[in-house]
Structure 1
């Protein structure tokens, strides 16, 4: 089967707006996630024109945490939108199979999700439908899908009167009140999705949709099981009043250093209960509110379908009216602009960015920041470096060999981790992943040799140059060796991403909670001080070489430098 220029390979999923397939472009061979839209979603020319305008807006969104749109044709016999294909399970499936996210991955997932939402806002687009089933796990990295298209589904012409498009438990409470979505709405959905990943269950519970929606409106969430500042952050982001929620910039700034206590306001004060202006009871059905009855656990976090009234059981009949009910989301539309291009070309020059939606937040100043050690991590790394530098000062040859072997093992571990991540992306998690990585480790050690040789040569030359400079200044030998060893480790850290990726998580794990960090810093500092005292008392040992000959090397080098001057 073909849709446009794409050959359908297999079905990936199904939602309220359409069916998603894995497809391949017949000319380029590129694989994409092809969403074939339902006829009731784009049933007339006006709606298709609106979809084209939306696609033009969404085309501006670019982020590693977003499945960007690569092609679309709203006017095809089967209208479709093609996005970057992300192999991997949804966040809902990953949590269902593997349990809640733990450790440092909690902050990584929250930070990536916030980055994806911020990328939408930076382009003046709201995601509108952040939820576990709209997050695909590319290894340990979450990628948002279906961004922005929910606005098309909000069109009153294609939304049956009395129905609400969305997923109970992940819709912001103001949307349930009939208020248009804002960036704060995406923040609420981000917090609910992150809480689901950390808890392994929906933060607003399960059961009939009306019960879940009632808890959302009242702000009755359950975050038991999330400790520390992360709980305060999610509590603030789940506030019922959009004005009480932190902005994405504030959230992303804190997520760069999650060890710092949250200072975004009193968490207890932002979870106030709003009175129900329209109780979600049987009487509310007559008022026009009519969500489907979906159990998120049983239904796999499915999208609330826009269906015919007759297809839903246990709900009273609602008369059709031209008036949009209080629960529907309405967006003011500008006059339809003349359409010149009926299908955009992904290789053409992008059109000018459309005006941002009302209430969108400015670009975050942290968008391009990378993960570098914070003050707490830095102290852990300095203490570790001081211990290793002391070993080099006490036993220069053995210490230098230890540093070289350490770099080799760190790079091999990083290579093994990368291979395991890619294997799991392609085949999923298997019980034998650990044994397989162990069996494959000799090959990873061999693969790490060329990079290790290049890295140690470069950093060794830099360290030697620093040592020679200190010798020329008449600095004591132990201080020279300390300086050279610290230079080697600093250069290796700065020059190798693999070294940072392997050592960094260890330092971050030792830094949280604060009690563990204090014990680790004090313990490492005592060890470093003990080694320094030993070096001062025992002096430098040139084992395994002869001490009598080797100890003369610094003096000979000083004489050479003195003559050169």
Structure 2
């Protein structure tokens, strides 16, 4: 006789039960210890499963596939018994709270935690699918938040990808709100349906709420079928990535790699959140339970009757027949609905707001860095006072570099605004650098020409004033090269004015944007800006000390001028 509801101390197949951990659609999980005293998770199949030869054969197939899998994000299968009515499965006991408990106690995950969860679960699912198994019951309570990353547990209803379906005909086994829409219509589970559940888990982790609500059951199923996911309070890029990953049609879904790429951008560059939404912590009534759902048959009318409202996620396993799911009237009774839950779909479609144009991606702002800019100007003027030729050449090269960087990055943001974040974005940006270098060189010519013209005009004016005797350059005699403090200040000022024209001259906007983008990378945040400013001021102090100590001006590679 099958023993369910096992008491602590009960022995099963050489394992001693310590305490129950939870119950799912296929069995009850216990904390147990093996003969060596090591803690394990022991899952006893429910009596009607353990006595079913077909179900035991299914367990055998899954265990054989999963025992070959070794991945840090998947709980290892240690042992199994499928040849007895007391069928069970033994896996490693992963320490930590499950994701549902973690979010309920600590609130939604931040951007970095969400990225870690997405990457960890994606890699785990890729490994599971590589072993030929589809998990099929992905939900927050089946993910352990461990110290080394998320761990996928509970393969009690996993299905071999190349096996025929072994569940009861017409029945759908899974958790409402985390079960892909195509499975509700009787399709076979596959990697795409698993990754739909993966995206639903991410939506729960990011918001702290079940992505399609919790009750009533027919409304949860209708929202899932129509893609009406609750992502309120998230930024536009996160919202767009998860909404597209949860599209009702598998062909329309964003790939897991592109979702991870979008979340990576959010962590690196941040995103604005237009509407602040209070975080709703989960309560005991919101616990997700695995539910057996009947696939939707032909629509029929049912008589009204008084029954409690349907609850999608109450922590208990129960069977539902969609033909019995009708909307609840104001008096608490089920009303006749010859169209099943179609009225919910129609209502949701009618009230749904149009999707925003584009991908939903917002390019991060290129913030001005006035303090760093002024410190750089001081360095440019002081260096130009002593080494005008070298300083102008270095300045021109740096301008070309930052302009190319700005053009490349802005083009990447433009592509993301049109088509969303792609994993290939950085590779495409790198491949197009030569083109943007050419564009930057051509675009820089107008401001360089104007800047050079300003320098020539200023030099000509200065030479006229000196030749006319109205201006004396220190102790530098006529016919000699200009030297001394006055000459250095004059030369530094002319260099600085010429550079200013290049910086703010015609077609120079991309130069300034590129500088902001580069500074955001090499000197991020306020701390980076402060460090950059201090370094620039320190370098300026070195050149200023040389100027006031009487160091000579080095003109090379420019020709040495001679005073008239």
TM-score by length of 1: 0.50
Greater RCO, CA 8 A, separation 6+: 1
TM-score by length of 2: 0.50
